[in-house]
A = this chain, B = another copy of it.
Amino acid sequence: MNLKQLSLELGLSQTTVSRALNGFPEVSEATRNRVQLAADRHQYRPSTRAKGLATGKALAIGHVIPVSTKHETMNPIFGDFIAGAGETYSRNGYEMILSIVDDQNENDVYRGLKARHSVDGVVVHGPRMDDPRIALLNEIGLPFVVHGRASGVTAPYSWVDVNNRRAFNRAADFLIDLGHRRIGLINGLEVMDFAHRRRNGYMDTLTANGIAADPTLMRSGEMTEEFGYTSTRDMLALPDRPTALMTSSMILAMGTRRAIEEAGLTIGRDVSVITYDDELSYLRNGGDVPIFTATRSSVRDAGRRLAEMLLADIANPFSQPQTELLEAELMVGQSTGPAPHL
């Protein structure tokens, strides 16, 4: 069923039917009802393609997911993030277009989305330091919001981010207050902006408390369970081993726990662990008392917020870049305790 057939059946012009359905004022309530009824009866839905052609809007948002060719690692937060964003989109009649792309050809993908008029805007995932995508998107004039920030980029742009630095400040502070002085950090790849900020937060707090940062206690890599495990195992084998560890994700923390237990140590007593927690739906951090002490912020909420911001940006093309800094909360769980006397 298309507009033509529908208007023929109603004995009205396509114009009137279209206007009736789109809520224009110059159509009488009587005919609007008649049209609406017929449309419902036939389950009429305007073709997105045709509508897009006619209006110049795509009613779609692109998500470009970089997958590193080397590691083939899919960021585990991704599912929950788009679950959040997806809610906002469908509530507003938008579709979500996903492009999985190896980090070599990213630019072409953005250019392609723009040139083919496939989307009205994009969200940038996994920003890196000095990320060139921001300049690119500004240049080609495709509205976008970044999930995170890109240190080193001076041009203004819209973003939604967690206060990673503050989160790691607080986590480090919490451990120091418990008497820990040897505190390790197991972080994501430091080209990633969030990892950079987290390390800064960690280091600043150590320094502010008169603790010299020790390179042997700082690791960064792909945030897999195994990387959490090997990093922890290696650090625990050091002559002057850490009494506390900070990890950048629950997945890393799982690996950390494995290594600690394998070493015959007890988490929260021999070694304290505090992790960053994205509140992934399948990795809930325990029930009443969290398993891990954690700084946490829901990535799903971030997705929701970011999508709203992007849609607002698109609706009002002359708006200034918007930003939103979410604060992570510190949840005290069972994985931390006073520093042991070694």
Contacts and interface: CB of A to CB of B under 8 A. Distances in A.
A112 B45 contact: yes
Copies held by the complex: 2
B115 A43 contact: yes
Nearest to A261: B261
Interface string A39-50: 000011111111
Contact of A49 (B53, B95, B112, B257): B53
Given A43-B111, A115-B45, A282 B86 contact: no
A130 to B, nearest CB: 24
A217 interface: no
Contact of A90 (B50, B52, B71, B101): B101
A74 B67 contact: no
Nearest to A42: B115
Interface of A is mostly: mixed
A6 interface: no
A287 interface: yes
Given A80-B74, A284-B225, A96 B95 contact: no
A37 interface: no
Contact of A58 (B49, B100, B223): B49
Contacts of A60: 97
B100 A97 contact: no
A226 interface: yes
Interface in A69-124: 71-76, 78-80, 82-83, 86-87, 90, 95-101, 111-112, 115-118
A281 B86 contact: no
Contact of A78 (B53, B79, B96, B300): B79
B53 A281 contact: no
Contact of A47 (B1, B83, B116, B286): B116
A47 B117 contact: yes
Contacts of A50: 53
Contacts of A75: 79, 282
